[in-house]
Chain A
Amino acid sequence: MLDQLNAEQERFLAALPEIADEDALYQLQVTYIGKKGSITGLSKKLGKLTVDERKAFGAELNRVKKAVQAALDGRREELREAARARDLARVEDLTMPAKRPPRGSLHPIRIAQRALIDTFRRMGFDVAEGPHVEHANFNFDALNFQPDHPARDMQDTFVVDDRRGSEDLVLRTHTSPVQIRTMLGRTPPVRIIAPGTVFRCDDDATHSPMFHQIEGLYVDRGVTMADLKATMIQFTAAFFGRSLDIRLRPSYFPFVEPGAELDMQCPFCERAQGGTCSVCKGTGWIELGGSGMVHPAVLESVGVDPEVYTGWAFGFGIDRMAMLMYQIPDLRQMFDGDVRFLRSFSN
């Protein structure tokens, strides 16, 4: 029996180095010292031995079992070590092109419009919208564009064929009709911005027949032109991160009186790095848009008493703002859908 035990141990020791992985090692363990293992099996024969023999053989059996177990453990450790070394020797080139999910982008107009909306929201403005096809009563009449007055020619207007032979329906030429819609719906104080798409019958390198504006309107007791200036300076601080000077130059828009062009100190001069700024052409100012005190006739048209309430309004072009901010060289690029352009805005 002892011979048998020794033979099993020899066999085991011979097999052990051939073992190459943990699964095989486990099988080996089962083969020799598992419940039905060959070494374990020898213990069943203990009963046939005398007490002394049993004692001696038992001790021997235990020793061999322990030795086998130790050898198994040692081999396992070796295998693990080897596996770890192999794993560590593995090379995966992470500089190969990354597997990344496709990345999309929002249109620069949406990005700019959102930035403007966020800024004005923080300044307490509500956001209002209106239809793109608008009635001339809102697009012109109520905004103090007199019928038959050449001021109507200031905005090249697309007329919608209303199939009734009238020229009453137009593509809105500005976001200002939203002023009318808003004031008809609520009483002052009214403090809104109205971003949106507008249309003019004009198409060349610097004019697109469709573009985007953001309108601002604030009507309340005691609103002044000085408040407009203060609000615009506050806007520049919130939008550009630093407060920029605002310059008003008298101008004419039928729905405001007094009316003024709104210029902002150029925030892009630093890009020129000491050279002449290409945005403001070195003047230090860029034109934001038109502005002014809401014309009393406009307030009257919506039933607001101009003796009690005053207000101001402004309108900027979003497209030009986006072009300046994102350094878009050509207006037309924005509308043809070339993904090589659009993906610039995937951040």
Chain B
Amino acid sequence: MRISCQWLSSLVELPNGASLDPSLVASVLTGVGLEVDAIEPTGAGVESILVGEIRKKEPHPEADRLTLVELFDGETIQSVVCGASNLPEVGGKVAFAPVGARLPGGMEIAPRKVRGAPSTGMICSEEELEIGGDGDGILVLPESWEAGRRLVDLVPEICDTILEIGVTPNRPDALGHVGVARDVAVKLDGRLTLPELGAADVPVSEELVSLEAGDRCGRYLGFVLGGVKVGKSPLWLRVRLHRLGLRAINNCVDITNYVLFEQGQPLHAFDRERLAEGRVVIRRATEGEPFAALDGSEHELGGEDLVIADAAIPQALAGVMGGARSMVDAESEEILLEAAWFAPSGVRASAGRRSIHSDSSYRFERGVDFGEGLDRAALRALKLFETLAGATCTAKAEALGELPRPPSIDLRLSRVHHVLGMPVGAREAERILRGLGVVVKSDGPIGSLHCTAPSHRPDIHREVDLIEELMRFHGLEDLPAEASVPSAPIVETVDPRATVRERLADALCEAGLHEHLAYSFTHPDKLRPFLGEGEAGRIVALSNPLRVPLSVMRTHLLPDLLDALEVNVARHPHAVRLFELGRVYAWAEERSGSAAPTFDPTRAAPVDQIDGLLPEEREQAAILLHGGDAEDGRSAVGVLVHALERLGYQVRVEAFAESKRIPYLHPGVQAAISIISGDTSACVGHVGELHPDIARERGLGDRAGIYVGVVELRALPALPVPVARERPRFPATSRDLSLEIPTVLPAAKVVDALITAAAGAAPDPSAGEDPAQLLGDGIAPGVEVVEDYRGRGVGEGRRALLLRLHYRAVGRTVTDGEIHKLHDVIVQGAIEALSGPELEVRIR
């Protein structure tokens, strides 16, 4: 909302006749919660513009469209070349920029020759002076104005300071200068001085207004104004509207706009001669009823749209916009002026449905004054119609519907102290509240003020709202900083899931990955390759996305990491090591159209009922590795294993059964990550090379080796407490084993087979209670995979796996002989277990 400091000053009388300068106004407004976003001085340079009188006009000999003008500037005659077609006749007055003047646009006026004719000064248009939007011709001034006078002395509105203020939705009263002035007056202990009003001492003409929808219109005032002379508004009015960002149209429209910005009350003027039977009916539209708005748009209305109709058709969408048909224009002679209060939610719904948002609907949906302020706005407009359009009020009517009842509130001064933590005295409280228009009586309980909220403050409902008013005007500068003491000990808890998440982030960071953070919404096409069985039907979509690439909630993190990879490879040649830790979203099951439950808006619904309606949100960690020195699938496995082990988990990496393979990973380069706790092992994620088809779809097809992995955080068990391990007291003895196996047989299976065989091997009876076992030495595990050899000496489709098996007993040194026997048993057992019809496993 733009506020004219000049206008505001005219509405406030300060103690001792002090004046309001713009910086004081700005600090006061910000201090009372009407935050000043910008201070804009206007009219710089226009001080030097004079009233010029045309003394002589003749065509330029060299140019058809130019005129040589002899112009009297109050002292001498100046020769000026002018290109405008609307130059007035001799004796007419224009805005003249003498030599030396600098126009607001920065142009400096200097003597010059135009097509050979000297020109000492310039005749200006509104646009050149930045006091109006009309740039087609020069600004023609009233003939009565004296040549040589400064324009700014005749129209002081030109040099004004405009404040751009942010008005929060609770303050419809501050959407007019009077409301803002009221705050300034209270803050500075001044007085609100209201502008001159007209009178409507005319007979009531009942048939003028019929209200058929009293639930949607609380009050409707109609005034018939006759003898209207539609024309251009005076310059001061046009300048003022221009400063506020409005276009001057004609005096009738300009008056309603002026009153809107002065009183905060939207008015509407109908050309009464174009209203069937010259009357209005406030009613709901019939279904499908057509309406042509004055902005040229056409609408088909519905039964919930409130209209101001004449005896036949809608002439305005109530509170939103007038109709094109009954719009006031140059021909209009009699108008019907409307001042009304429409129910805010109805206007809001109507404006929303029709997508028309006007200055009027903006105010009505916030709630305008239905009391004194409404009358005042109407009478103010009557005054202006009388003085600026020569109109006379000939008849009036008023209809009443349902109006809100201004609440009565007992304000306890002790409560003020209780909420703010500082006291506000009774007299100060009364001064502030009365200044705001609150009716204050001290007939309530002792220590409290009995208050009735004014009709222009729909935001005041209860005691705390009055406390806020006291805070606004008493000021927060003196608020002490005083900590209160808790009434009971506050028990702090730590969510274990949050601990897992933060520690995993640290561990992935420690593994040399950079954390990426992407938007939670993505393009549905990017999710597609990652969707599993039934997942497509569980995607959570937005109804009003900013754009398609941000239209669905992500079901996986990997698409975002691929986006980041694309960004990186396009910008630099270096390795990309990224992780993201965040939520993914999905409906728990495919959703169909059963009706959504409704809840009482004044109560918080039970959490479990709400949560039952929400989609599932799961936390995931995902990694992506590409490029760099030794990036292969095992580096990606290493990152995840490192990170999970860093959290204390016992991790297993195993091959997926063919039926459980992850479709978006390379079929031959993928593994499951499991965590062992106790006797059970649970899969918590997977890792592998991105499927080459997806890489190709993403335009990353020429880039080999994009390794990715995912961990589901909810699958992670509680963080284990570390347990000190045994340090073996006796050395282990190791035996190497070279097995030739098919390439497709995973090393993990070979290791498992050896461990299983060891567990099943019959203990050597001679070793008694402490047999030799396949046991790690405290650092290396019992079975170590040392080398994976393929090539010469090993057949096609086969590989040689070099393993090292460590043996020891707990309380003694083992002998070569017993290990020899045990090793043979274990190896034979494992080979038998591993071998199958298609699987030949043998010792090399």
Is A3 an interface position by the 8 A CB rule?
no
8 further A-B contacts with Cβ under 8 Å, apart from A310-B419, A335-B518, A339-B568, are A110-B515, A125-B492, A133-B553, A141-B602, A184-B607, A229-B482, A257-B464, A338-B568
Check A102 against B520 for contact (C-beta < 8 Å). Answer: no
* Residue in contact with B605 in the complex, picked from A135, A259, A297, CB distance below 8 Å: A135
Q: How far is the CB of A335 from chain B (nearest CB, A)?
A: 6
- Please state if B572 and A165 are interface contacts (CB–CB under 8 Å): no
Chain A neighbourhood of B482, CB < 8 A? 224, 226-227, 229-230
Task: Name which residue of chain A comes closest to B553, CB basis.
Answer: A133
Q: Which residues of B contact A275 (CB under 8 A)?
A: none
**Which residues 155-195 of B have a CB within 8 angstroms of A?**
168-171
Number of A residues contacting the other chain (C-beta, 8 Å)? 104
**DSSP majority for the A interface?**
mixed
Distance (whole angstroms) from the CB of A228 to the closest CB of chain B: 8
- The winner among A160, A191, A258 for most chain B CB atoms within 10 A is A258
Find out whether the CB atom of B515 lies under 8 angstroms from the CB atom of A229.
no
Give every chain A residue within 8 A of B519 (Cβ-Cβ): 209-210, 335
Task: Tell me, in angstroms, the Cα distance from A153 to B348 when the chains sit together.
Answer: 11
Pairwise interchain contact B513-A167, C-beta atoms closer than 8 A: no
What 1/0 flags go to A129-148 for Cβ under 8 Å of B?
Answer: 10111110110011000111
**A134 interface neighbour in B30, B344, B553, B614, Cβ under 8 Å:** B614
- Can you offer 27 A-B residue contacts whose CB atoms are under 8 A? A101-B512, A104-B511, A107-B516, A109-B517, A133-B615, A135-B614, A148-B344, A158-B542, A159-B543, A164-B591, A164-B594, A164-B596, A165-B596, A166-B596, A184-B604, A184-B607, A189-B488, A191-B490, A209-B546, A226-B481, A229-B480, A230-B482, A301-B602, A301-B604, A339-B577, A339-B578, A342-B516
State whether B418 touches A310 (Cβ < 8 A).
Answer: yes
Of residues 223 through 253 on chain A, the ones whose CB sits less than 8 Å from some CB of chain B are 223-227, 229-231, 233-234, 246-252
The reply on A181 being an interface residue by CB < 8 A is yes
Contact indicator B468/A150 (Cβ below 8 Å): no
Q: Does the CB pair B484–A222 fall under 8 Å?
A: yes
Cα–Cα distance between A163 and B596 once the two chains are bound (Å):
9
Query: B488: nearest residue on chain A (CB-CB)?
Result: A189
- Set B421, B462, B543: member contacting A160, Cβ < 8 A: B543
Rounded to whole Å, the gap between the CB of B480 and the closest CB of chain A is: 5
For A336, what are the chain B residues with a Cβ–Cβ distance below 8 Å?
563-564, 567
Bound together, the chains give a CA A121 to CA B493 distance in angstroms of: 10
A134 to B611 Cα, complex, angstroms:
8
B468–A257 CB distance below 8 A: yes
User: Among A252, A259, A296, which residue has the most Cβ atoms of chain B within 10 A?
Assistant: A252
Q: Quick one: CB contact mask for A141-181 with B, threshold 8 Å, 1 for yes?
A: 11000111111011000111111111111010000000011
Q: Please give me the 6 A-B residue pairs with the lowest Cβ-Cβ distance, nearest first.
A: A337-B564, A226-B421, A102-B512, A224-B421, A250-B33, A252-B168
B199 CB to nearest A CB, Å: 35
| A contact residues around B544 at 8 Å (CB) | 158-159, 201
> B711 to chain A: closest CB distance in Å?
16
Query: Does B102 have its Cβ within 8 Å of any Cβ on chain A?
Result: no
Contact A127 B490 (CB under 8 A): no
In the complex, A276 has a CB within 8 A of chain B = no
Instruction: Give Cα distance in the complex from A254 to B468, angstroms.
Output: 13
Are B487 and A222 in contact, CB atoms less than 8 angstroms apart?
A: yes
Residues of B within 8 A of A231 (CB): 483
Q: For A102, what are the chain B residues with a Cβ–Cβ distance below 8 Å?
A: 511-513, 575, 577, 628
Q: Of B266-274, B327-335, B471-479, which binds chain A?
A: B471-479
Query: Do A162 and B421 contact each other (CB < 8 Å), given the known contacts A148-B348, A295-B464?
Result: no
Interface residues of B in 418-472 (CB under 8 A from A): 418-422, 462, 464-465, 467-468, 471-472
Residues of B near A293 (CB, < 8 A) are 419, 464
Whole-angstrom distance between the Cβ of B610 and the nearest chain A Cβ:
5
Contact A148 B574 (CB under 8 A): no
A265 at the interface (CB under 8 A from B): no
Residues of A within 8 A of B617 (CB): 131-133
Chain B CB within 8 A of A199 CB: yes
Whether A104 and B591, one on each chain, are in contact in the complex, defined by CB atoms closer than 8 angstroms, is no
B487 adjacent to A110 (CB under 8 Å)? no
Are A227 and B483 in contact, CB atoms less than 8 angstroms apart? Answer: yes
Known: A126-B490, A137-B601. Is A184-B606 also a contact (CB below 8 A)?
Answer: yes
Does A106 lie at the interface of the complex (its beta carbon under 8 Å from any beta carbon of B)?
yes
B599 touches A251 (CB 8 A): no
Task: Give the complex CA separation of A230 and B505 in angstroms.
Answer: 34
Using a CB-CB cutoff of 8 Å, which residues 175-225 of chain A contact chain B?
180-181, 183-185, 188-189, 191, 197, 199, 201, 203, 209-210, 220-225
Smallest CB separation, B126 vs chain A (Å) = 33
Interface centre among A131, A257, A302 (most CB of B within 10 A): A257
Check B601–A147 contact: CB distance below 8 A: yes
A residues whose Cβ falls under 8 Å from a Cβ of B = 101-107, 109-110, 114, 121, 124-127, 129, 131-135, 137-138, 141-142, 146-151, 153-154, 158-169, 171, 180-181, 183-185, 188-189, 191, 197, 199, 201, 203, 209-210, 220-227, 229-231, 233-234, 246-252, 254, 257-261, 293, 295-297, 300-302, 310, 334-340, 342-343, 346
Interface residues of B in 611-670 (CB under 8 A from A): 611, 613-615, 617, 628
Please give me the residue from chain A that is nearest to B570 by CB atom.
Answer: A338
- List A contacts of B614 (CB < 8 A): 131, 133-135, 169
Cβ of A218 to closest chain B Cβ, rounded Å: 9
- Tell me the bound Cα distance from A260 to B345 in angstroms: 26
B 495-544 contacts with A by CB, 8 A = 495, 498, 502, 505-506, 508-521, 540-544
User: Cα distance A110–B582 when bound, in Å?
Assistant: 11
**Closest approach, in angstroms, between the C-beta of A146 and any C-beta of chain B?**
7
Q: Is the CB of B471 within 8 A of A163?
A: no
Q: A151-B170, A340-B572 are contacts. A189–B603 as well, Cβ < 8 Å?
A: no
Which chain B residues border A258 with CB–CB below 8 Å? 419-420, 464, 467-468, 471-472
Known contacts A104-B515, A222-B484, A338-B567; is-contact A161 B498 (Cβ 8 Å): no
Interface pair A261/B35, CB less than 8 Å apart? yes
Q: Cβ of A138 and Cβ of B480 under 8 Å apart?
A: no
A101-B585 Cα distance, complex, nearest whole Å: 35
Output the least CB separation between B32 and chain A (Å). 6
The answer for the CA separation of A151 and B561 in the assembled complex, in Å, is: 37
Contact call A161/B481, Cβ cutoff below 8 A: no
Residues of A within 8 A of B680 (CB): none
A146-B601 in contact (CB<8A): yes
In the bound complex, how far is the Cα of B471 from the Cα of A260, in angstroms?
10
Contacts of B599 in A (CB 8 A): 135, 137, 141
Rounded to whole Å, the gap between the CB of A260 and the closest CB of chain B is 7
Does B76 belong to the interface (CB within 8 Å)? no
Q: Is the CB of B481 within 8 A of A246?
A: yes
A146, A203, A346: which contacts B546 (Cβ < 8 A)? A203
- Whether B546 contacts A124 by the Cβ 8 Å rule is no
